[in-house]
Amino acid sequence: MGRTLGYHYVKSGYGLWLPGDSRGHWSEAWDEQIGFIEPHMLHGGDPVRERMARERMKQPPVRLDTAMIAAVEKAISACAASSPWKIVAASIESTHLHLLLTYSGMDIERTAKWLAQQMTKEVHAQTKHEGPVFCKNYWCSYMFDESHWRNTIRYIERHNERRGEVSRPYPFLYGGD
């Protein structure tokens, strides 16, 4: 295995991608132009498991509105400015976000938890939303291969383009890839 180039971090809104979802477990990333870019085992849908997960929810599902997206962007920008890692690609959507982080030697689990805490604090500070913002866990793919890295950049950039944005809409993005 080669050196770690970085991480593809994905965080979903609270209650939007539950265990058992008919789309399968979200550790699979598919792009129509590239195909499988993160080939992990895809777990099929399970309506019973999804119903049970939905019944356990204490709050309604959260879709980020424009103000919440702006707060998340502000938090990510502040985190990136004070961290040794750089964000090479990002997409902040109403249902989830993608970040492609460079390797820094920092523990990615602690980094992911810290990012989620900072984003949630900023949403609470900048909007009227008071409940959970994101799901409890996150998904993270370790990047070791240059081709996988470049494909992931394009995958994330296409998320922005599909929303009618430019491929790199955020000022906190690092130019090197």
What structural domains does the chain harbor? Answer: 6-17+63-162 (3.30.70.1290)
pLDDT at 8 over 50: yes
* Percent with pLDDT over 70 in the chain: 82
What's the CA gap between 58 and 39, in Å, rounded?
33
Give kind and range of the element (H or E) at residue 73.
helix 66-81
Q: Which of these ranges, 19-28, 90-99, 114-123, 155-164, has the smallest mean pLDDT?
A: 19-28
- What's the whole-number mean pLDDT along residues 2-28? 76
User: Which residues on adjacent β-strands are paired with residue 8?
Assistant: 100, 141
Phi, psi of 4 (to 5 degrees): -75, 120
SS3 123: helix
Residue 38 has pLDDT above 70, yes or no: no
C-alpha distance from residue 88 to each of 6, 31, 44, 133 (Å): 10, 19, 31, 24
What does the mean pLDDT of the chain come to?
A: 86
pLDDT at 34: 52
Question: How far apart are alpha carbons 157 and 59 in whole angstroms?
Answer: 31
Q: Determine contact, residues 17/26, Cβ cutoff 8 Å.
A: yes
- How do beta strands 29-31 and 35-38 pair? antiparallel
pLDDT digit string, tens, across residues 75-99: 999 999 999 999 999 999 999 999 9
- Reported as a single tens digit per residue, the pLDDT across 136-156 is 888 888 999 999 999 999 999
pLDDT surpasses 80 at 46: no
Give the per-residue pLDDT at 2: 75
The answer to which of 51-60, 116-125, 151-160, 164-173 has the lowest mean pLDDT is 51-60
Residue 55: helix, strand or coil by DSSP?
helix
Pairs from 126-130 (Cβ < 8 Å, separation ≥ 24):
126/67, 126/68, 126/70, 126/71, 126/74, 127/65, 127/67, 127/68, 127/71, 129/62, 129/68
pTM: 0.83
